[in-house]
Structure 1
Amino acid sequence: MNNFLLAVCTCLSNFIVATILFQFMNESYNKTFHNKYVYCLAEAIVIIGITIVNLLGSTILNLVIWTIVVIMLSVVLYFNDYDNVLRRIIECGVLLFYIAICETLGVVFVDWILKLFEIDLKISLMRECMEITFSKVVVIFMYYMIFTRLVNKKKISFTKVQWVINFIILVYSIINMLVIAEGLWQGQENFILFINMGCIVIADLYLLYFIKVSNEKSHLEGEIRILEQQAHLQYEYYLDQEKKYNATVTILHDVDKHIRSIEGLYANGENREATEYVKEIKDMLTPLIPVKCTGNPILDILLTDKAMISKEKKIKFDIKVENINMDFLEAMDATTIFGNLVDNAIEAAEKASGERSIKIHIMPYQEMVLARLENTSLPVKWKNGLPISQKGKNHGIGLLNVMRSIEKYDGDIVFGQNNNIITVDLFLNT
């Protein structure tokens, strides 16, 4: 019976390590085979094989077998388009080393807890089973709460609620382990206690995995909302361009008629009427011609459009560009950054009372570009240095888009308010 319990605990321990290893490799690398059962079979073989090796009690043999396993998995079952097999082997080796450290810390911690609560498990098998299972609880939490965040390229962070939930699960697991240890100490050496220990470990594994997956799902949903907002912004922009194109086509279609009308007015000596006619045509064409001021064609068109919209809303719109060229800014980023910021400025200025204005000043700043936007506005609420939107939970996505684009240029954005003037300082590296 004792040997059976030890074998079960060892098998559970290897199941946790193998599951974490395969999860890491599945998320980090491409699979060589499309059949998922190949990987299920490989994981089962690893668990059984390592368990048999562990029961032999040879630390060196155990280390050699794990090394062989990592090499074989990296070479046969996975590949990566961007690096070589040696890198995969090293990364998986680092993970196993991390797990080994966590296991050691778990054993030290459980021994300290037992000593703290004066629980003396005199039967070595009971203590060994406690150390094996509890150390895996530590491994699970250290993997999902620390290691995954360190290697996560997307930099997905936990929310405060998720930290609280993880902490509650950890405390609950420790308390349950103490209850089991107390029962073993008092001689309740029944199989149910060992089943309970195994259930705690497996439950922790899948609960924390579920939290991780849920967190990634929320992050991806946020990414999708951001992309949808960008697409919507681009769609509106091209709709505006279509309107301008149609207006231009209309004018060009009637250009002969306009020219004959102007010539007729001059021929009849109606110079004043002819001049007025020319002025009307000029007023129609002026909004359709982008003002070339930034050196970036898309940004010039966008600012010209926004100036026209502001004029329609009776908002004074001033643009000043010093000796700077913005051609380093990609079209999508120019539309995302300035489209969102200027739209917000127009929206805020439209609601303001008295004189309404928007000023854009683009200038060199050390080795960077500084774009300063100022607009009149009603008082706004602030949180963590950012304005709080009153338009619902998804309205702040525009600002997230701006920050995301700014990061591509190692830039920064700073908001401020002085009386009824909102200022936005945008720093970009060229």
Structure 2
Amino acid sequence: MIDYIMPDIPRIYTAIAEWVACMLFILPVKKRFDRLKTGLLAAGALIIQSLFLMVTGNVRIYFWIPCMVIAVLLMIGFIYGCCEISLRDAGYFGMIAVVAAEFMASVEWQVVCFFWNGSVPALAIQAVLLAVIYGGVAFILYKMLHMHLPKDGKMGISFKEYASGFLIAVAVFAVSNISFLTENTPFSGTYAFEIGNIRTLVDLGGIAILYAHLIQCCELRVRKELEAVQNVLQNQYVQYKQSRESIELINYKYHDLKHQIAVLRSEEDPKKREEFLNRMEDGIRQYEAQNKTGNKVLDTVLTTKSLYCTKHGITFTCVADGTLLDFMDVMDICSIFGNALDNAIECELKIPDKEKRLIHVTVSKQKMFLILRFENYCEETLQYQEGALVTTKKEKEFHGYGLKSIQYTANKYEGAVSMNVEDNWFELKVLIPMGQK
């Protein structure tokens, strides 16, 4: 027989624990609404969760599991409603929140029953203990989660990661609550405080396992993103080397043709031949490396992009002092200018009117800062949120790494990246302190 010296946890306590556990994930993540709407939604969620648990407190045992499933779905819905994240990420956070709430409620009630010998203390004492223990546990868990959760809360959880997290949460919940369902198993307790100990310790272990699972998922996400950024950077460097070889060959051909033309001009030729030579010279002039900025790497990148722009009817202008980039690594120069110009060119190719295909680049110095500014005409309606440009492509998960690569490179030099869209002009600006190594 189970000893009933330890009374059941009040359902309102469980509801508060579940609400607090959800707030652990809501507070550090980007919200879907403003503060007022989020606050009202949070208050409504607390009321609904409390009423549901109190109403279903005395249901029969075979209704207990469906009621718990509904309670978990309410928690997931609360997180999803407040945060601008996917439903799968909300479900993953909800699973961790359930185990955290179970632990929070269990440890608080076990402390109360231990010091008051199974009796219920005064309401004021209950409120103080509730605030202190819930607050302490929530503070520790919040600090642990805040170190690893992405600022936007978008974990990008895969199906396998979600399934493994789900199995862990279900196993922890089942083992911690099995004694409340039946004592006829090898893992059930037979005494009230023994049951409480099992529940508290199993939930604590479950939090540790799910926390390790969360860290692993976050690290895997960061590793994948870093690899993608490095691939973009490496591709830009490979393009730079290929372009350098092509441009050198073009320059050789250019100079050879100039000498041939000079020889032909020295001969007595008809006017038609003169016109033909003029046309020939004009035709090859576009292949001369016209960008002479003082930095060979920048010259190569700009020349490659300007040749491509000329071929596709894009007006490309540049005012750059390449000597200001001497402190930067070759791959970093390729990454910033290559990705920025590729994005600008891609935008311009979507504009039917070639007269409006405009790109302008400036490299300048202001006080002790290097300023790289990329401007291009843009007719698309771009979504611009908190310094991040939301891609307009359908397969969003496979795009955006060009800008991330630029931001990654700027951070390497303790710099900053800003973007702005105004009057059909998109501006990307990179600000880097001078003298960084």
Larger helix percent:
1
Query: Paired residue for 1:231?
Result: 234
Query: Paired residue for 1:263?
Result: 263
Structure 1 position 358, deviation (Å): 0.9
Structure 1 position 426, deviation (Å): 1.8
Q: Work out which structure has the larger RCO, using CA pairs closer than 8 Å and 6 or more positions apart in sequence.
A: 2
Structure 1 position 366, deviation (Å): 2.6
Structure 1 position 321, deviation (Å): 3.0
Q: Does 1:385 align with 2:387?
A: yes
Q: Does 1:120 align with 2:116?
A: yes
Look up the equivalent residue of 1:284 and give its one-letter code.
I
Change in CA separation of 1:217 and 1:158 when aligned onto 2, cut-off 3 Å: farther
SS in 2 for 1:236: helix
Change in CA separation of 1:386 and 1:315 when aligned onto 2, cut-off 3 Å: same
Change in CA separation of 1:367 and 1:288 when aligned onto 2, cut-off 3 Å: same
* Counterparts of 1:178 and 1:259, CA distance in 2: 90
Equivalence map 1:4-83=2 (5 Å): none
* Counterparts of 2:264 and 2:421, CA distance in 1: 56
What is the alpha-carbon root mean square deviation over aligned residues?
4.8
* Counterparts of 1:206 and 1:278, CA distance in 2: 76
The C-alpha deviation readout for 1:318-373, integer Å capped at 9, x for no partner, is 11236962212221111111111111111112223542211112222232122222
Structure 1 position 212, deviation (Å): 0.9
Change in CA separation of 1:372 and 1:397 when aligned onto 2, cut-off 3 Å: same
- Does the 8 A contact of 1:140 with 1:205 survive in 2? no
Q: Does 1:243 align with 2:246?
A: yes
Query: Paired residue for 1:160?
Result: 153
Unaligned 5+ runs, structure 1: 1-107, 124-134
* Counterparts of 2:390 and 2:243, CA distance in 1: 28
* Counterparts of 1:175 and 1:160, CA distance in 2: 28
The C-alpha deviation readout for 1:1-25, integer Å capped at 9, x for no partner, is xxxxxxxxxxxxxxxxxxxxxxxxx
Q: Does 1:400 align with 2:404?
A: yes
- Does the 8 A contact of 2:298 with 2:322 survive in 1? no
* Counterparts of 2:364 and 2:260, CA distance in 1: 46
State which drifts further: 114-123 or 305-314.
114-123
- Does the 8 A contact of 1:180 with 1:197 survive in 2? no
Query: Paired residue for 1:326?
Result: 325
- Does the 8 A contact of 2:344 with 2:359 survive in 1? yes
Look up the equivalent residue of 1:398 and give its one-letter code.
G
- Does the 8 A contact of 2:173 with 2:203 survive in 1? no
- Does the 8 A contact of 2:361 with 2:373 survive in 1? yes
TM-score (norm 1): 0.56
TM-score (norm 2): 0.55
Query: Paired residue for 1:349?
Result: 348
SS in 1 for 2:336: helix
Query: Paired residue for 2:429?
Result: 425
Of all paired residues, the percent bearing the same amino acid is 16
Structure 1 position 187, deviation (Å): 8.3
* Counterparts of 1:161 and 1:308, CA distance in 2: 39
Structure 1 position 287, deviation (Å): 2.8
Structure 1 position 234, deviation (Å): 2.3
Query: Paired residue for 2:223?
Result: 220
SS in 1 for 2:324: coil
The C-alpha deviation readout for 1:192-214, integer Å capped at 9, x for no partner, is 66454443333322221121112
Query: Paired residue for 1:79?
Result: none
* Counterparts of 2:321 and 2:264, CA distance in 1: 45
Equivalence map 1:164-203=2 (5 Å): 188-189=191-192, 194-203=197-206
Query: Paired residue for 2:313?
Result: 314
The C-alpha deviation readout for 1:40-64, integer Å capped at 9, x for no partner, is xxxxxxxxxxxxxxxxxxxxxxxxx
- Does the 8 A contact of 1:406 with 1:428 survive in 2? yes
SS in 1 for 2:313: coil
- Does the 8 A contact of 1:114 with 1:120 survive in 2? no
Q: Number of paired residues?
A: 302
Query: Paired residue for 1:410?
Result: 414
* Counterparts of 1:323 and 1:161, CA distance in 2: 39
Query: Paired residue for 1:277?
Result: 277
Look up the equivalent residue of 1:325 and give its one-letter code.
L
Match of 1:146 among 143, 148, 160: 143
- Does the 8 A contact of 1:265 with 1:273 survive in 2? no
Structure 1 position 156, deviation (Å): 7.1
- Does the 8 A contact of 1:262 with 1:274 survive in 2? no
* Counterparts of 2:344 and 2:297, CA distance in 1: 19
Change in CA separation of 1:194 and 1:158 when aligned onto 2, cut-off 3 Å: farther
SS in 2 for 1:351: coil
Structure 1 position 229, deviation (Å): 1.6
Query: Paired residue for 2:4?
Result: none
Query: Paired residue for 1:367?
Result: 368
* Counterparts of 2:314 and 2:261, CA distance in 1: 34
Look up the equivalent residue of 1:415 and give its one-letter code.
M
State which drifts further: 363-372 or 221-230.
363-372
* Counterparts of 1:174 and 1:161, CA distance in 2: 25
* Counterparts of 2:362 and 2:252, CA distance in 1: 33
Look up the equivalent residue of 1:298 and give its one-letter code.
V
Query: Paired residue for 1:37?
Result: none
Query: Paired residue for 1:16?
Result: none
State which drifts further: 324-333 or 222-231.
324-333
Structure 1 position 377, deviation (Å): 0.9
* Counterparts of 1:409 and 1:353, CA distance in 2: 38
- Does the 8 A contact of 2:382 with 2:392 survive in 1? no
